[in-house]
């Protein structure tokens, strides 16, 4: 009997897999911190014989090279991928024996990248699972615009063909096990559901129900913003990532925190947005550790800028350090945990700002600036009439464009509004963070408009 263990990474919206038999296994698209994969293999009592990459990843730093080195596994990387390290190049149709009666077969599925390769696990010659990476996802496909703008339409058409190839070659009951699609910006749309099969995708995936021209037009029209840090992930993975260092950062006292702020470095408070609003180090930024920490911090921070982490517990610092390493923010410059009163020097006070609901905004709407930090695609569905729009990932460079006055900042649910509020607060603006679901805006009596009404 074969097994497939799923390793979920909710912050980035990705999954990795460990699959095998009684004695040996293959790790597919492993994360940067390989200890989780090693622990999964130890729990199964199996040897990691192979590490397989579906593609050179654009959204996270792979642990594949290090896992292969530590475990002694053969490192399978698509033949068309341009990398600078030794690996076993795999081409369409290549197979490896994972365990007795268990074979892994490479299937060329270009589209997410030109070299993208899926892997079909076969038990006694019968396909049982397809590791589809960024090709066929649950209800959608991987986005085709992360490699080179001139290739986007060609890769979108390749996605359609690759999805059809998988559907044509595999039976309905074969499990579809993608890497992306669970919140990752590598997905062209949010996955619907948590598990799928070829049969289910054949019925409900646009790539398999629409003709190629309709599919491509719809796919390209729906593409969203690309996180800025993606530009760094591909080169890091192609060069061969260094082993990750998860030892604790150096402790920072109040003097060092103040010094790092004065030097223009980023001091990031990982506490909840409620706790941050009530009291925080002036000039620090709030990226909740329970939210999409790695995605949004790596997206907004100037690449390479030193970052100091603040949290209520050392465990939260360690968890954040692990998550940030997945996107190449390897070593925090320093860290501090405990009571925030210890993070400021004698004679200083913690800063704070208000939180509110849309109902409260409705009562003061005519007297304040409303800042919408959602993405363009979200705003297209409706926005508060007269609001200013600066997507959160553009705000660090556009704070000066926010009109004078008290700024009430909102997003779709509150997390990004908290980030934006902290950025504005650090810039000296009077700010109120709207901690509410956007659907409550209309219920509160706020007038909503659409881009067709002349405002975006």
For the cut 80, the answer to whether the pLDDT of residue 456 exceeds it is: no
CA 235 to chain centroid, in Å, comes to: 17
Strands 47-52, 24-28: pairing is parallel
For the cut 70, the answer to whether the pLDDT of residue 110 exceeds it is: yes
177-219 tens-digit pLDDT: 999 988 778 776 666 678 899 999 999 999 999 999 999 999 9
Question: In the beta sheet, which residues pair with residue 266?
Answer: 307
Residue 264 φ/ψ, nearest 5 degrees: 85, 10
Residue 376 φ/ψ, nearest 5 degrees: -55, -45
With CA atoms as reference, report the closest residue to 52 among 26, 70, 32.
26
353-411 tens-digit pLDDT: 999 999 999 999 999 999 999 999 999 999 999 999 999 999 999 999 999 999 999 99
Q: Which residue has the higher pLDDT, 192 or 349?
A: 349
Burial of residue 77, with CB atoms counted within 10 A of its CB: 0-12 exposed, 13-18 middle, 19 or more buried: buried
Burial of residue 275, with CB atoms counted within 10 A of its CB: 0-12 exposed, 13-18 middle, 19 or more buried: middle
Inter-residue contact 139 to 205 (CB < 8 Å)? yes
SS3 358: helix
What is the model's pTM?
0.92
Quick one: average pLDDT of 419-433? Answer: 98
Tokens of 302: 């100037």
């Amino acid at each position: 009997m074969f097994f497939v263990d799923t390793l979920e990474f909710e912050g980035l919206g990705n999954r990795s897999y460990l699959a095998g038999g009684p004695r040996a296994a293959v790790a597919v698209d492993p994360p940067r911190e390989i200890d989780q994969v090693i622990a999964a293999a130890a729990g199964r009592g199996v040897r990691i014989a192979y590490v397989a990459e579906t593609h050179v990843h654009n959204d996270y730093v792979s642990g594949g090279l290090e896992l292969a080195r530590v475990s002694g596994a053969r490192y399978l990387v698509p033949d068309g991928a341009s990398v600078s390290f030794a690996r076993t190049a795999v081409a369409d149709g290549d197979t490896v024996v994972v365990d007795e009666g268990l074979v892994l077969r490479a299937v060329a599925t270009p589209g997410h990248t030109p070299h993208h390769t899926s892997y079909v696990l076969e038990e006694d010659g019968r396909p049982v699972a397809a590791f589809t990476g960024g090709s066929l996802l649950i209800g959608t496909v991987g986005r085709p615009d992360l490699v080179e703008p001139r290739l986007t339409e060609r890769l979108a058409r390749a996605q359609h063909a690759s999805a059809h190839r998988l559907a044509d070659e595999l039976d309905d009951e074969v499990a579809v096990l993608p890497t992306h699609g669970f919140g990752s910006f590598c997905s062209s749309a949010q996955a619907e559901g948590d598990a799928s099969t070829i049969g289910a995708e054949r019925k409900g995936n646009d790539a398999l129900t629409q003709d190629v021209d309709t599919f491509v037009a719809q796919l390209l029209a729906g593409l969203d913003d690309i996180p800025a840090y993606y530009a760094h992930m591909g080169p890091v993975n192609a060069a061969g990532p260094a082993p990750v260092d998860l030892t604790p950062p150096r402790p920072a006292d109040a003097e060092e925190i103040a010094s790092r702020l004065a030097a223009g470095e980023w001091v990031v408070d990982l506490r909840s947005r409620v706790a941050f609003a009530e009291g925080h180090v002036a000039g620090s930024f709030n990226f909740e550790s329970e939210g999409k920490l790695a995605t949004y911090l790596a997206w907004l921070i100037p690449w390479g800028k030193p970052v100091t982490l603040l949290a209520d517990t050392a465990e939260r610092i360690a968890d954040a350090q692990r998550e940030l390493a997945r996107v190449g923010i390897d070593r925090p410059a320093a860290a501090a945990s405990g009571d925030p009163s210890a993070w400021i020097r004698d004679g200083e006070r913690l800063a704070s700002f208000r939180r509110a609901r849309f109902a409260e905004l409705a009562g003061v709407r005519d007297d304040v600036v409303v800042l919408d930090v959602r993405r363009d695609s979200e705003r297209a569905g409706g926005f508060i009439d007269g609001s200013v729009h600066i997507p959160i990932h553009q705000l660090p460079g556009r704070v000066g464009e926010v009109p004078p006055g008290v700024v009430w900042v909102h997003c779709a649910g509150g997390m990004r509004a908290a980030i934006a509020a902290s950025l504005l607060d650090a810039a000296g603006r009077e700010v109120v963070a709207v901690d509410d679901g956007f659907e409550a805006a209309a219920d509160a009596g706020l007038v909503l408009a659409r881009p067709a009404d002349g405002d975006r």
